[in-house]
Structures are given as C-alpha cells and as structure tokens.
Amino acid sequence: MAAPYDAEIRKDVQTYYGQVLKKSADLQTNACVTTARPVPKHIREALQNVHEEVALRYYGCGLVIPEHLENCRILDLGSGGGRDCYVLSQLVGEKGHVTGIDMTKGQVEVAEKYLDYHMEKYGFQTSNVTFIHGYIEKLGEAGIKNESYDIVVSNCVINLVPDKQQVLQEAYRVLKHGGELYFSDVYTSLELPEEIRTHKVLWGECLGGALYWKELAILAQKIGFCPPRLVTANLITIQNKELERVIGDCRFVSATFRLFKCSKTGPTKRCQVIYNGGITGHEKELMFDANFTFKEGEIVEVDEETAAILKNSRFAQDFLIRPIGEKLPISGDCSALELKDIITDPFKLAEESDCMKSRCVPDAAGGCCGTKKSC
C-alpha cells in the first residue's frame, strides 16, 4: 500500500483506540474478546493481580501467554494498556523482563501509570516492565536490537498494520535463534474486497485489515520462520447489522499461531519424544498446539519439523528426543503420529471446536448428558 494510505489508517486506528474506545464493552464485534480454550489456573491468578483500569483497557483476541516463561525476555507488540505485559511480568519473574510497544500514546500512558503498583503487588524490588511509544513495524527506530528477545507476543494488533510482512520481519530480527513469535490475530476466509479494507470502523474492530489465513504461511516462509503452528481458533460474530451488510459472505476467525525462528540444524527425520513434565501450569500435560499434546512420560512420535523446534527452542530441556528406532530409557505407551491431516486451517479448527462443544450439553448437575448434534 502507498505510504499516505498507511498514514491515514494509522491515524484512524490511533483515534479509535485512543478516543472512541474507552473499555472493551465499547467494541462492536467479539473479535477482541474471544478465548478459545480454558485459562490455566496460574494465569487466572496472574490476571487477578492486574489493576482494574488496565484490565478494562484490554482489546485482545486471544491468550498470548505461552509456556516456559521463567527468566525470559519478552516483547509485546501493540501492548495497549499493558494487561498482557503485567501478566507476563509475573510469570517471567524478577529476573526476566517484558517490553511493551504501542503507537497510541494514551494507551502507553495508562500502562505506565501502574508500573509501581504492579511492582509492589508482585513483591519485586525493581520493575521488570518497560513501555515504549512507537510502531511495531519500526522496532529499530524504537531502539530494539537484533536477537534481543526470547519471545515476541502480540494480541490482535498485527491486523491493524497495513504492512504485515514488515511487522513479521521485525519480529524475526529481534528474536534470538530458537525464539518464538506467539500471537493471536484475526484472519479472513477470502481476500477482502476494497469496501471492507477501507471501512474505518472495520479497521478499528480488527476486521478491515485482517490477513487471508493462507497468506500467513507464505509470509512466514519468505521471512525465514518455520511453518506456522496453529494453537487455537474461534469464529468471530458481528453484533451490528450495518457491519454485517458490508461484510457479506466473508467470514472471520480469531486464531493463535506459533512461529519459531528455527536453527537450520536439527533432526532431519521423524523422532520419538518424551515430555519430562514440570513446566509451570503444565506439569502433567503440555498442549503444544492444535495437533500435539504431550503427556508427562508418554512416548510421542513427531515429524522432523516438530522435533527440530523442540530441540532448538527453550523447550529443549523439557523433552527427551531420539530418532525412531533408537531405544528410549523409559517404558510406556507410544502415541504415534498416524497418517492424518495436520490441522493448519483456523476455520476448520474453530468449526471442529464448536462441534465438540455442541456435543456436550450440561445437565442439571453440570455434567455432560451425551446429547449429540450433527456437525
């Protein structure tokens, strides 16, 4: 897109989030208030410690709290009022650090106002959070250096930037080798027509700038990331008749993906892995993505790409990894990766999730009565 058009969109988004929206209840779709699976107990507790004003300024579309965060350096792209940053700051601990960057000055000011509050709430001697007023596609201008972060997160913000490739390129640049971009965003079922792409409210509601979901894999490969790993997905509903008319047949989904900055070296064939357990909040079971769940002590057969990610990322110490055929020093059940389709389509995952929910109708006692519906 041309630079003047980018600047106009940027101004409209700043106005929408700085002046129009005062709290999450002001949103006209559920794009920025969805969550696709239960929140772990340790994260629920961390959320309860966030100041009320910061929590009210939350406009995310998922949960961008990955696993194994102790002592990590994390960058939050589009940190808004700071909710996710303050949750992450508890989980990385006092030796870790979280940086939030946002282009809306009013949002940054709200976040900075509660630095001391959260430092005292967590019992830290010094704050481990920094907020920067800047642009997520121009991290260099904000002074963020190459390979300086273990994890980059983003919560329903990349869609607000016209140049998505530049955002992903910058995230790749600042990540350490083996690092991860863990982000929730909005995706479309088809290429958006101009009427939607130029609609100011739809841009502010995270829909007008949403990426066609198949484009993500193309951009990731072009930049150097491993192929996207789909974690969760949720269909988006519109609570506005006028916006429904503009959108027409286009569908939207909020989805969480993981993109790893892979090393070029690693397993070149399928492996068997065993999760050692012990990751905070996931001691017995780690739901790595929509396709792989690892239970403590259980042998799981994985493809070469998954093995390489586990071996070259912060999860390396959490798994025992061996080529297939080599004896593992443990006896247990083996969960083989059967010849099945790996789910990469967020719309398919969201529909399957809705289907599973419809099959279980709570009875009077809160259990599942076994009622099934056709999907």
Instruction: For residues 230 and 82, give the distance between their C-alpha atoms in angstroms, rounded to a whole number.
Output: 25
pLDDT at 210: 95
pLDDT above 90 for 300: yes
Residue 364 has pLDDT above 50, yes or no: no
* pLDDT-based confidence at residue 362 (cuts at 50, 70, 90): very low
Structure-block tokens of residue 373: 């519906």
Calculate what percentage of the chain has a pLDDT beyond 90. Answer: 69
Confidence of residue 238 (pLDDT cuts 50, 70, 90): confident
Of 29-33, 171-175, 274-278, where does mean pLDDT reach its minimum?
Answer: 29-33
Enter the tokens of residue 347. 């719309």
Question: Regarding the domain delimited by 13-261, which CATH topology (the fold level of the hierarchy) does it fall under?
Answer: Rossmann fold (3.40.50)
Buried-exposed string 314-335: b where 16+ CB fall within 10 A, e elsewhere: bbeebbbbbeeeeeeeeeeeeb
Domains 13-261 and 264-326 share a fold: no
Asked if the model's pLDDT at residue 159 lies above 60, the reply is yes
pLDDT of residue 13: 52
Residue-range domain boundaries for the chain? 13-261, 264-326
Q: Is 140 helix (H, G, I), strand (E, B) or coil?
A: coil
Question: What fold characterizes domain 264-326?
Answer: Ribosomal Protein L9; domain 1 (3.40.5)
pTM of full prediction above 0.85: yes
**Joined tokens for residue 372:** 């099934």
Handedness of CA 127, 256, 165, 222 (dihedral sign): positive
Sequence-distant (6+) residues with CB within 8 A of 334 are: 272, 298, 299, 300, 301
Token pair of 196, please? 């939607």
Give the CA angle between residues 226, 229, 234 to the nearest 5°. 150
d(CA 164, CA 158): 6
